[in-house]
Structure 1
Amino acid sequence: MADPVPALVATGVAHTFGETRALDGVSLTVGARERVALLGRNGSGKTTLLRVASTQLRPDAGRVEVAGADVVGQPDVVRRHLGVVFQSPALDPALTAREALRLQAALVRIDRAEVAGRVADALADAGLADRAGDRVGTFSGGMVRRLDLARGLLHRPTLALLDEPTTGLDVLARDAFWAALDRRRADGAQVVATHAMDEAARCDRVVIVDAGRVVADGTPDALTSALGPDALWLDTDDADALAATLRGEGHDARAVVDRVLVVSPSARDLVAPFYARPDVRALSIQPPTLADVFAAVVGGRGGR
């Protein structure tokens, strides 16, 4: 049996806004049912890439395919495969939850015989079956986000693009949103743009984007393992100077804002000698996290 067509293939994608190069040769492949996090700080290029993939922007260079269809040459075909959840909910507050989903069903041309069942399932999945007749404008932020997710995934798209979908939600609302997203894993691929490390850790792969480029790509475990068994952080008065000094001594040291990250397979052996240094005020050591990976990769870089 042939391998399924990837949900998304981006090759050498570039895009500029005036003097700003928002995307600078991005290449990325997302498997048919893979969940991928686009992790990056604000202005890194995440949203621009999603806008290109969703046919809202035409790339200046490179090529993007969704389910084998080119976003420039076949935009109508691409849109039939897509489900998009924007940073701000795309819902009319004057509609009821049921009306909002029925409107979406008409827009994406779901067969009339299936609409009632799809809408009922979506409302139940979003935990809103008992609020189906209530207007969206009366909902809490978390309820609106869950309904917006149900709207974006109603037609069971090949590729769901979610752009920082939990921004502004409290912890409980975020958990409910992700639980709803988990229940739709079998429908197709999901690409989630985020700057939240815990959300990135829930994905099959993490692609770190900075200054319009892919600077790291791997599973959460592979990325953290690459830093070694421990991440050693040093507090100092001059991070750049200490990092330069340690590099001169043969250590892999990286200045990250006002701290220094030392990457070493024997980091624990360095604790005592580093703590005795006059240019180290304090230190901490622990198994590496995605936050450590992110800091190591982009901490000292300028974003866009």
Structure 2
Amino acid sequence: MTSAAVTVEDVRATYGTKAALDGVSLTIPRGSSFALLGPNGAGKTTLVNILCTLRRPDGGRAVVAGADVVRQPTKARRSIGVVFQDSSLDDRLSAWENLEFHGLVYGLAPKVRRERSAAVLALVELEDWRDEIVRSFSGGMRRRLEIARALLHEPEILFLDEPTVGLDAQTRQRIWQYLDQLRRERELTVLTTTHYIEEVESADMVCIIDHGKIIAQAPPDDLKAQYGTRWLHILPRDAAATAAILARYPNAQPLGSHSLALPADENAVTDAFLAEFRDSLSEVRFQEPTLESVFLSLTGRELRDRADGQRDAEKAAGKRGGRR
């Protein structure tokens, strides 16, 4: 992992008067696992779109697998595989037909298409459903097929934009097992954006972006050591207790709709809080430094501040049933 798979230099992007990316620079070593974390609207997807040649940067330079994404977009595309947050499969076609079409787009010879299609379907355990129409697939099966399709032309770099959103924990685990296997076998470089922070605890490098700027970048353990905070997670008994706690401790961070988190690195502060509000709490627990606490400390927002639409998608995926 001595050479760079991706190099980003002072990249800028705007939507009207809003800066989506404000001078972003980073380097991703070849064969590494790189995680890009940030709240909704932080600029993650914009950066991925630029690296995938779907959007031109308004300033700066990005190089993917040795190809400038603006001057050599075709060369860059041949070196990358992409799994988008929203499904891009043709659900009127079978799994095999989706792969066949992708192979044709990339100019793969018929024999190569057949061999690679069979191989990637076996990798994601979908060979028994190769001739089934995608419309009948569950959410997890579609995601696995999208990963298979992204790997068909044997890319050097795989971009994953929220690849496991809406999937159950078992399917998410299987997907990461596939990707870890490929990284070991082929030195595949993987860039991931995700709301599930536990999925990137083992990443080689974690980059946290907010308001279009990189605010921290290091291996997970280094981030925890430098920015991690011990938190006291509390569940007030009612709205009145929540209001009283927030008035007394304005640095408390909301977690979801009811819970709060207080920095708990100093025992004296924690003792004083519990002495004052113990009877107003339904639940109290400590959380040692994690990537989630790093994110919370740096951005003031919880990584799992997923939009209601995303939660609805997760519920829909669970209700849809179908094959697993």
Q: Give me the TM-score of the superposition, normalised by structure 2.
A: 0.80
Q: What's the offset of the Cα at 1:120?
A: 0.9
Contact 1:45 1:210 in 2 (8 A): yes
Decide whether aligned partners of structure 1 residues 294 and 116 sit closer, same or farther in structure 2, where only a CA change above 3 A counts.
Answer: same
Decide whether aligned partners of structure 1 residues 269 and 98 sit closer, same or farther in structure 2, where only a CA change above 3 A counts.
Answer: same
Instruction: Give the letter aligned to residue 274 of structure 2.
Output: Y
Matches within 5 A, 1:80-95: 80-95=78-93
In structure 2, the residue matched to 1:246 is none
Q: What's the offset of the Cα at 1:276?
A: 3.6
Q: SS in structure 2 opposite 1:127?
A: coil
In structure 2, the residue matched to 1:217 is 217
Q: Does 1:197 align with 2:204?
A: no
CA distance in 2, matches of 1:273, 1:137: 57
CA distance in 2, matches of 1:166, 1:50: 16
Q: Does 1:242 align with 2:243?
A: no
Q: SS in structure 2 opposite 1:92?
A: coil
Decide whether aligned partners of structure 1 residues 201 and 300 sit closer, same or farther in structure 2, where only a CA change above 3 A counts.
Answer: closer
Q: What's the offset of the Cα at 1:297?
A: 0.8
Q: CA offsets per residue over residues 53-85 of structure 1, 9 Å max, x none?
A: 111111111110001211111111111111111
Structure 2 residue runs of 5 or longer lacking an equivalent are 237-241, 306-324
Q: SS in structure 2 opposite 1:183?
A: helix
Decide whether aligned partners of structure 1 residues 280 and 260 sit closer, same or farther in structure 2, where only a CA change above 3 A counts.
Answer: farther
Decide whether aligned partners of structure 1 residues 228 and 92 sit closer, same or farther in structure 2, where only a CA change above 3 A counts.
Answer: closer
Q: Does 1:256 align with 2:257?
A: no
In structure 1, the residue matched to 2:105 is 107
Q: What's the offset of the Cα at 1:170?
A: 1.8
* CA RMSD, 1 decimal: 2.6
Contact 1:255 1:300 in 2 (8 A): no
Instruction: Give the letter aligned to residue 210 of structure 2.
Output: D
Matches within 5 A, 1:169-188: 169-186=167-184, 187=186, 188=188
Q: What's the offset of the Cα at 1:231?
A: 3.6
Q: CA offsets per residue over residues 86-118 of structure 1, 9 Å max, x none?
A: 112221112211121122112122344322221
Instruction: Give the letter aligned to residue 263 of structure 2.
Output: V
Instruction: Give the letter aligned to residue 203 of structure 1.
Output: A
- How many residues were matched structurally? 288
CA distance in 2, matches of 1:202, 1:137: 34
Q: SS in structure 2 opposite 1:63?
A: strand
Q: SS in structure 2 opposite 1:28?
A: strand
Instruction: Give the letter aligned to residue 297 of structure 2.
Output: A
Matches within 5 A, 1:217-296: 217-227=217-227, 230-232=230-232, 237=244, 239=246, 242=249, 254-257=251-254, 259=260, 261-262=262-263, 264=265, 267-268=266-267, 271-276=270-275, 284-296=285-297
CA distance in 1, matches of 2:262, 2:227: 10
CA distance in 2, matches of 1:82, 1:284: 43
In structure 2, the residue matched to 1:298 is 299
Q: CA offsets per residue over residues 196-253 of structure 1, 9 Å max, x none?
A: 111222422211111111112122222122246844567873547635xxxxxxxxxx
Q: Give me the TM-score of the superposition, normalised by structure 1.
A: 0.85
Contact 2:81 2:150 in 1 (8 A): yes
Matches within 5 A, 1:51-90: 51-90=49-88
Q: CA offsets per residue over residues 248-267 of structure 1, 9 Å max, x none?
A: xxxxxx54348564364xx4
CA distance in 1, matches of 2:64, 2:39: 25
CA distance in 2, matches of 1:273, 1:140: 51
Q: What's the offset of the Cα at 1:300?
A: 5.4
CA distance in 1, matches of 2:15, 2:62: 19
Decide whether aligned partners of structure 1 residues 269 and 213 sit closer, same or farther in structure 2, where only a CA change above 3 A counts.
Answer: same
Percent identical across equivalent pairs?
39
In structure 1, the residue matched to 2:125 is 127
If each structure's helix is expressed as a fraction of its own residues, which one has the higher value? Answer: 2
Matches within 5 A, 1:9-28: 9-28=7-26
